């Protein structure tokens, strides 16, 4: 019998029960919650009776997981990234790996980046806390910056980064710089940005938006050396991956007021607890990876995962397949 496991997702099916009803036509559904560092063998044992898996950003589905659970037909990521899935191992075990199309999350994530920027630029979180305490006389402490006519540097100018850039360029008359080593200068210009080197972007930007994907080259892309190249009082937002930033160097720069503010919806090693050093500064705002949490976005994400399950159940290949070689091998 086919069975479906919903792994580490707190939102799937919560607001759109019709999606769960469609999945039940395939087989029984069960929700699972695992720690992000769960042992792969234990994970496989827990999910051994489930051959359809809809998974969040954690846990990690490694080679060891697939070796101990070779019966998985589909691993559908409830999101656009797949760095927690060993796609090579999945392919070796004939398991489809799918992700949500980037366009589904584009506006939700980009708008959250802007929300973080507005909060950081105007110190809204601190001002609101003061108002709740009746401390209206403190309002002069919450001086901030206007966004209009600032120079914005976007690192990673793909699906979401380009949308962040267009909002700031068209809505706030910002000068838009872009650094993306995976796109040509012509492609960046066509999207309305000025292509620059990482060094130039860091030196000239008043605002930096991190929208790159994570790999060996981008891990801790922003560390002490890069921060030293930035303008004083630069504002940084990160809605991509926490691993892009060296937290230690960032926190020190915020404490030194080199960085005016840092707003992020992602952190390295998430979830983190309240004792994490990122919560040590009032000028750092962390949200618990909620960029995609709009009704419109979650409906689209859920629809994609359900559709993938239905296609595989019907003997068809799902769309937006990560390991496309699986189709090539069977053609």
Active-site residues, by number, are 241, 270, 289
Give the whole-angstrom CA distance, residue 6 versus residue 27: 13
Q: Return left, alpha or beta for 136; rule: phi > 0 is left, psi -120 to 50 is alpha, else beta.
A: alpha
Task: Give 160-218 as a 3 state SS string.
Answer: HHHHHHHHHHHHHCCEEEEECCCCCHHHHHHCCCEECCHHHHHHHCCEEEECCCCCCCC
N residues, the chain: 331
Q: Which two tokens stand for residue 309?
A: 């399950």
DSSP string for 232-243: TTEEEEE-S-GG
Q: Is the separation of the CB atoms in 59 and 84 below 8 Å?
A: yes
C-alpha count within 13 angstroms, C-beta hemisphere, residue 194: 13
Report which of 269, 245, 218 is spatially closest to residue 59, judged by C-alpha positions.
269
């Amino acid at each position: 019998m086919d069975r479906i496991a919903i792994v580490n997702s707190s939102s799937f099916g919560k607001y759109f029960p019709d999606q769960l009803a469609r999945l039940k036509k395939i087989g029984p559904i069960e929700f699972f919650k695992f720690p992000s560092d769960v042992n792969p063998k234990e994970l496989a044992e827990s999910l051994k009776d489930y051959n359809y898996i809809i998974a969040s950003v954690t846990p990690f589905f490694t080679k060891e997981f697939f070796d101990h659970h070779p019966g998985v037909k589909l691993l559908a990521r409830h999101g656009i990234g797949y760095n927690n899935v060993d796609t090579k191992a999945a392919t070796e075990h004939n398991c489809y790996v799918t992700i949500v199309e980037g366009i589904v999350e584009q506006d939700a994530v980009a708008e959250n980046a802007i929300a973080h920027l507005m909060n950081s630029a105007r110190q809204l979180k601190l001002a609101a806390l003061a108002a709740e305490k009746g401390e209206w006389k403190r309002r002069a402490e919450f001086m901030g910056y206007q966004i209009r006519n600032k120079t914005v540097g976007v690192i990673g100018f793909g699906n979401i980064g380009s949308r962040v850039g267009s909002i700031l360029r068209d809505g706030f008359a910002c000068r838009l710089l872009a650094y993306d080593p995976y796109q040509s200068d012509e492609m960046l210009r066509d999207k309305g940005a000025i292509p620059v080197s990482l060094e130039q972007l860091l030196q000239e930007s008043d605002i930096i938006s991190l929208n790159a994907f994570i790999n060996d080259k981008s891990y801790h892309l922003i560390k002490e050396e890069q921060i030293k190249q930035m303008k004083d009082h630069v504002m940084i937002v990160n809605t991509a991956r926490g691993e892009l930033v060296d937290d230690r160097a960032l926190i020190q720069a915020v404490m030194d007021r080199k960085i005016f503010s840092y707003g992020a919806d992602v952190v390295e090693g998430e979830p983190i607890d309240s004792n994490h050093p990122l919560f040590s500064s009032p000028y750092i705002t962390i949200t618990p990876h909620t960029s995609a949490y709009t009704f419109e976005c979650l409906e689209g994400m859920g629809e994609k995962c359900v559709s993938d399950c239905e296609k595989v159940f019907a003997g068809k290949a799902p769309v937006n397949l990560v390991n496309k070689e699986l189709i090539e091998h069977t053609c």
